Amino acid sequence: MNNVKQPLLVFLAAGASADLGVPLTYKPKQKILENIREALSVKKYNDFLGIDPTSIDLLANHLDTIYDRGPKWNFEHLLFALETLESLKPSWRSKTAPKFKTMEGSLTYWRKELEPCFNDSFISISKQVLYKSIHEIYSNASATISSNPNWSHIKTFFEVLNQSFDLFIGTTNYDLLVEQALGWGAVEEGFRKIPKSNFSEFNGYRSDLKLMHLHGSVLYGCVNALRGNSVLHVNDLKRFDSVEIASGNYPISQTTVATGNQIDVGPLITGFRKTERFICEPYFSYYHHFSNLMIQTPRILIVGYGFGDDHINNLLKRFFIWHRSNGRIIFIDLLPEAQWDKWDAWIQTLNKRDFVDMVHWWTGEEMPFHGCDYPDPWKQPEPPPDEVRIYFKGFEDAIKNHTQEIVEFLKS
């Protein structure tokens, strides 16, 4: 009898943790802005660094103007704005070395009304507070996961998957959902414990690597190395024994990419241009391993993904090129029933077109969805499709009502 488990790749994005009280990216915006305002209001910053504490409100209002007709802006947009400010300022100086000049800077002009936002100290402090706030918000959310009413169902679901398959999980979430559900830790994430220390060190590409935090974890941080009288920041991340220890080891380093833009490399990957932040481990190895698993594994379960990361979308588009009729994809997301009558308008919005295009790639159908005259926008045909299943009533509903169906389909 063959007891070898089939491999299954699970990809978790923000919607996978939402039912457990972990906030989506746009929800912490006001808290982060409050933290930045508080930091900028310290008198010594105003007196000695020339910071105008209203600078963050000027920048937030500017983002409101830019995104008034599109999706809500979130902390990723805020970081992108701060990095852009940092890149543009040296580009306008005649004596700046070419390496630090951007094409955008050469084609744009000084915005007088935003002048306070170009203060170097404002930019630096705002970015530090932004990263610290993200860590604090998602650390606190992780601490309450197991007390959420939905926890027992979600934990059981992951246990069933782990018993049924040779399970691998890639996630763009910072929280510790998987670690708490399955008891996975440093070994499954590719780290090895350093004796007499409070952290583990990444051990490179390992065959037992099961969990990939593609954009970081609240347990990740950095340590400093001493060389002579200098303290050097070491880019490769460590996995600390607790979120409290990680929060105390949270420096952010800066790098200049080929275009002259300044980007931050921190314990968490956020903002835009994410692939340019893969220069430190474990992120480079994680993405490499995740890509290989996508090529080698013909079964994938995707939960709560908004199709906003092109480097992941490019892998998903090729899934059936690699696996053809052997491939199986399940996608779980939440489209509230109250919006079903607006389905046709919903799929035409810019951010949802990426999703519709992806389903087009998966199904090979030009019009993969029914119109709004159906009670359920994804009404499964009879018989159901052999390669793709989509559940639109959310992760909680899929787990409570369709676990066995999901497992059987992924094994088919």
Distances (CA, A) of 115 to 35, 61, 109, 262: 21, 14, 12, 19
For strands 328-332 and 224-227, give the pairing: unpaired
pLDDT in tens, 23-76: 988 889 999 999 999 998 887 666 667 788 889 999 999 899 888 755 578 999
pLDDT in tens, 111-142: 677 888 888 889 889 998 999 999 999 999 99
Domain spanning 7-21+148-219+280-411: CATH 2.40.10.10: no
As given in the structure block, the two tokens for residue 31 are 């808290």
Whole-number CA gyration radius for the chain: 23
Domain with CATH 3.40.50.1220 in the chain: 7-21+148-219+280-411
> 363 pLDDT exceeds 80?
no
Taking phi first (over 0 means left), then psi (-120 to 50 degrees means alpha), and beta for anything else, what does residue 175 get?
beta
Distance CA 159, CA 183 (A): 10
More confident residue, 155 or 90: 155
Calculate mean pLDDT across residues 277-305: 92
Q: What is the dihedral of CA 303, 305, 311, 313, to 10 degrees?
A: 90
| Beta-bridge partners for 391 | 332
> 160 pLDDT exceeds 50?
yes
As given in the structure block, the two tokens for residue 394 are 């959310």
- pLDDT at position 56 is 94
As given in the structure block, the two tokens for residue 291 are 């890509």
Q: What count of other Cβ atoms lies within 10 Å of the Cβ of residue 179?
A: 19
Q: What count of other Cβ atoms lies within 10 Å of the Cβ of residue 153?
A: 15
How large a percentage of the chain has pLDDT more than 70?
A: 76
pLDDT in tens, 201-247: 898 766 679 999 999 999 998 876 544 444 444 568 899 999 999 88
Location of structure tokens 């409100």 = 57
Q: Where are the alpha helices (DSSP H) in 214-282?
A: 243-247
Band (156; pLDDT cuts 50, 70, 90)? very high
- Do 388 and 362 contact (CB within 8 A), yes or no? yes
Amino acid (1-letter code) at residue 385: P
- pLDDT at position 102 is 62
**Those residues with Cβ within 8 angstroms of residue 34's Cβ, 6 or more apart along the chain or in another chain:** none
> 367 pLDDT exceeds 50?
yes
